[in-house]
C-alpha cells in the first residue's frame, strides 16, 4: 500500500467515525444499514446460493442510464447475480424505472471507511466490480485489489476541470487508478488525460460512450403515450432541461422574447432538482397560465416539471431545447438527449462533462452556444424554423446511426474475468 493511500484510509476512517451521528440522522430511512455495509439475510442467502455477483456501481441518475445497456448485456450473458448500487435516492428510483428485473438487487453504496468497506466485501464477496464513469472511492478500489477481485471502470470520463484537480495530487490518483484492472474511457482525450497523471497506458481502453448506447436503447423502448396530453395544442414547444439555480430566470426571460414572435409558444422547464419546481413556477407568472407537471391546468403557457424521469420523453415533443447546467459552472448536462430526437438545442459555455459531444454536435449545426437571455431567444427563434429542424433531424440521424457499441466492448472486457 502506498503512503498516499494509507493516509487516505486513515483520514476516511476518522472522518466517517466523527460524522457517524450526523450521517445516521441524515440517512435514517434511506438505506442507512446498507450504507454501513450491513445487508439483510435474504440478500446474503441469495448470493451464497447463486454464486459471487458482478457488482456494478452507478452513483446517480446519469450513471444509471449509462450503465443500462451494459447491465442488460450482462443479464443476458451471465448466470451470476447482478448487484447494482447507487448513492442517491433518485438514482435508485431511476434504476427501478428503466432496469426493472435486470439487477437481482439494488442497494445503497457503502461509505468509504475501511471498516465499512471490509464488512461490505465480506458479505457480498463480488466476483468482479465495475464503477460507471468517474465514481472513484479509493478505499474500495484498493481493497478490491488487495483481495484479488478484478475491478473495472466503464465509460470513464475525465474533463479538463477534473484533471486539473487530480494533477494537484497526481501521485495519489495514479496509485488509486492503478488499482483498476482495466479503465475503459469514452475517448482518446480521456485516455491522454489519465496518462498525463502517470497512469499506465496499457491499463486504459478507449471503448466509446455507453451513454450513446443507452440513449438509443431508451428511445427504442420509450412509450410516449403518457405524454400525449402535452403535445396537444397548437404552437411550438420549447423544453429547458436539467436547469440549475441561476438559469431558470434566463430561460424564462428568453421565452418572453420568443412570445413576441410566437404568441402561441409554450415552455416546459425541468429543474435538475424537482424540489425547486414551485420556486421556478413563481418566476414565470407573467408568461401566461403556469402549472406544475403534477397539477396541469387547461391552456397552460409555462409548465414546470416536479418529478424525475420524464425529461427524456419531453425532448421528443420539443421543437427547440436548452440544456442546463451550462450557464452556471456545473459541467453541463447530456446534450445527446435532445439530439437523439432530432431536436436543435442551445447551451451555455460550461460543458466540461460533454466536451467531445459538444464539439461534434456543434460542428454538425445541431447545437448553438448561448450566454444570456438575448442570445438564447435568438437561438430559440432560429431553431423554430421548420427548415432548420429538418436539417438538424437529418444530421442527428447520421450521427447516431454510427453507434459505437461501447457497452458491448465494455462487456467483452469485463466478462473475460467472470
Distance CA 15, CA 23 (A): 11
- In this prediction, residue 157 carries a pLDDT of 87
DSSP code, position 111: P
Q: Which of 63, 133, 135, 337 does the annotation list as catalytic?
A: 63
Q: pLDDT band at residue 233, thresholds of 50, 70 and 90?
A: low
DSSP-assigned states of every residue in 29-73: TTTHHHHTT---HHHHHHHHHH-SPEEEE--SHHHHHHHHHHHHH
Does 63 participate in catalysis according to the annotation? yes
Burial class (CB in 10 A: 0-12, 13-18, 19+), 225: exposed
DSSP code, position 195: H
Q: Is the pLDDT of residue 156 over 80?
A: yes
DSSP-assigned states of every residue in 272-321: SSGGGHHHHHHHTGGGS-EEETTB--TT-SEEE--SSS-HHHHHTT-SEE
Measured in whole angstroms, the distance separating CA 208 from the mean position of its chain's CA atoms is 16
Judging by DSSP bridges, how do beta strands 128-132 and 105-108 pair with one another? unpaired
Cell numbers found for residue 382: 432560429
pLDDT tens per residue across span 106-154 = 999 999 999 999 999 999 999 999 999 888 999 999 999 999 999 999 9
- Paired with 131 in beta bridges are 57, 153
Distance CA 308, CA 270 (A): 9
pLDDT tens per residue across span 258-276 = 999 999 999 999 999 999 9
Alpha helix (H) residue ranges in 125-187: 138-146, 160-167, 170-177
DSSP-assigned states of every residue in 232-247: -SSS-EEEEEEE-TTT
What are the backbone angles phi and psi of residue 374, rounded to the nearest 5°? -65, -50
Cβ atoms of 70 and 406 closer than 8 Å: no
- In this prediction, residue 402 carries a pLDDT of 58
- In this prediction, residue 390 carries a pLDDT of 92
Average pLDDT, the chain: 92
- Paired with 368 in beta bridges are 346
- In this prediction, residue 393 carries a pLDDT of 93
- In this prediction, residue 403 carries a pLDDT of 56
Cβ atoms of 123 and 39 closer than 8 Å: yes
* Total count of residues recorded for the chain: 418
Distance CA 102, CA 82 (A): 8
- In this prediction, residue 182 carries a pLDDT of 97
Distance CA 129, CA 140 (A): 10
Indicate yes or no: pTM above 0.85: no
Domains defined along the chain, listed by start: 3-206 (3.40.50.11720), 222-401 (3.40.50.2000)
The mean per-residue pLDDT over the stretch 291-298 comes to: 92
Distance CA 151, CA 135 (A): 13
pLDDT tens per residue across span 331-381 = 889 899 999 999 999 999 999 888 878 988 999 999 999 999 999 999 999
The answer for residues whose C-beta is within 8 angstroms of residue 189's C-beta and 6 or more apart is: 355, 356
pLDDT tens per residue across span 174-230 = 999 999 999 999 888 899 999 999 999 999 999 988 888 888 888 888 888 888 888
Cβ atoms of 111 and 23 closer than 8 Å: yes
Instruction: Say how many C-beta atoms besides its own lie within 10 A of residue 199's C-beta.
Output: 21
pLDDT tens per residue across span 21-60 = 999 999 988 899 999 999 999 999 989 999 999 999 998 8
Amino acid at each position: 500500500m502506498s503512503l498516499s493511500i494509507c493516509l487516505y484510509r486513515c483520514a476516511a476512517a476518522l472522518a466517517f467515525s466523527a460524522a457517524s451521528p450526523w450521517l445516521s440522522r441524515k440517512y435514517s430511512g434511506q438505506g442507512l444499514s446498507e450504507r454501513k455495509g450491513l445487508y439483510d439475510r435474504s440478500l446474503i442467502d441469495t448470493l451464497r446460493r447463486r454464486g459471487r455477483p458482478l457488482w456494478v456501481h452507478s452513483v446517480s441518475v446519469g450513471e444509471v442510464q449509462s450503465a443500462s445497456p451494459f447491465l442488460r448485456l450482462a443479464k443476458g450473458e451471465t448466470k451470476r447475480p447482478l448487484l447494482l448500487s447507487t448513492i442517491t435516492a433518485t438514482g435508485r428510483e431511476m434504476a427501478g424505472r428503466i432496469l426493472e428485473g435486470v439487477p437481482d438487487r439494488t442497494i445503497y453504496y457503502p461509505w468509504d471507511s475501511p471498516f465499512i468497506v471490509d464488512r461490505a466485501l465480506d458479505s457480498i464477496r463480488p466476483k468482479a466490480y465495475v464503477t460507471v464513469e468517474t465514481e472513484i472511492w479509493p478505499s474500495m478500489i484498493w481493497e478490491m485489489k488487495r483481495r484479488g477481485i478484478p475491478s473495472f471502470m466503464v465509460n470513464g470520463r475525465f474533463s479538463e476541470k477534473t484533471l486539473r484537480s487530480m494533477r494537484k495530487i497526481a501521485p495519489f490518483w495514479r496509485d488509486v487508478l492503478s488499482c483498476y484492472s482495466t479503465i475503459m474511457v469514452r475517448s482518446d482525450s480521456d485516455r491522454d488525460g489519465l496518462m498525463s497523471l502517470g497512469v499506465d497506458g496499457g491499463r486504459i481502453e478507449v471503448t466509446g460512450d455507453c451513454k450513446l448506447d443507452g440513449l438509443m436503447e431508451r428511445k427504442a423502448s420509450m412509450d410516449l403515450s403518457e405524454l400525449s396530453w402535452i403535445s396537444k395544442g397548437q404552437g411550438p414547444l420549447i423544453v429547458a432541461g436539467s436547469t440549475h439555480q441561476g438559469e431558470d430566470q434566463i430561460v424564462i426571460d428568453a421565452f418572453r422574447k420568443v412570445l413576441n414572435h410566437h404568441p402561441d409558444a409554450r415552455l416546459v422547464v425541468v429543474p435538475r432538482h424537482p424540489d425547486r419546481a414551485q420556486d421556478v413556477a413563481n418566476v414565470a407568472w407573467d408568461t401566461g397560465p403556469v402549472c406544475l407537471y403534477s397539477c396541469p391546468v387547461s391552456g397552460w403557457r409555462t409548465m414546470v416539471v416536479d418529478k424525475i424521469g420524464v425529461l427524456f420523453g419531453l425532448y421528443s415533443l420539443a421543437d427547440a431545447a436548452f440544456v442546463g447546467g451550462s450557464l452556471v459552472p456545473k459541467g453541463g448536462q447530456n446534450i445527446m438527449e435532445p439530439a437523439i430526437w432530432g431536436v436543435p438545442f442551445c447551451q451555455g459555455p460550461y460543458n466540461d462533462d460533454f466536451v467531445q459531444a459538444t464539439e461534434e454536435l456543434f460542428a454538425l449545426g445541431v447545437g448553438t452556444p448561448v450566454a444570456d437571455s438575448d442570445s438564447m431567444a435568438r437561438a430559440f427563434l432560429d431553431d423554430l424554423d421548420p427548415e432548420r429542424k429538418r436539417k438538424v433531424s437529418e444530421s442527428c440521424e447520421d450521427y447516431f446511426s454510427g453507434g459505437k457499441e461501447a457497452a458491448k466492448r465494455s462487456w467483452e472486457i469485463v466478462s473475460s474475468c467472470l
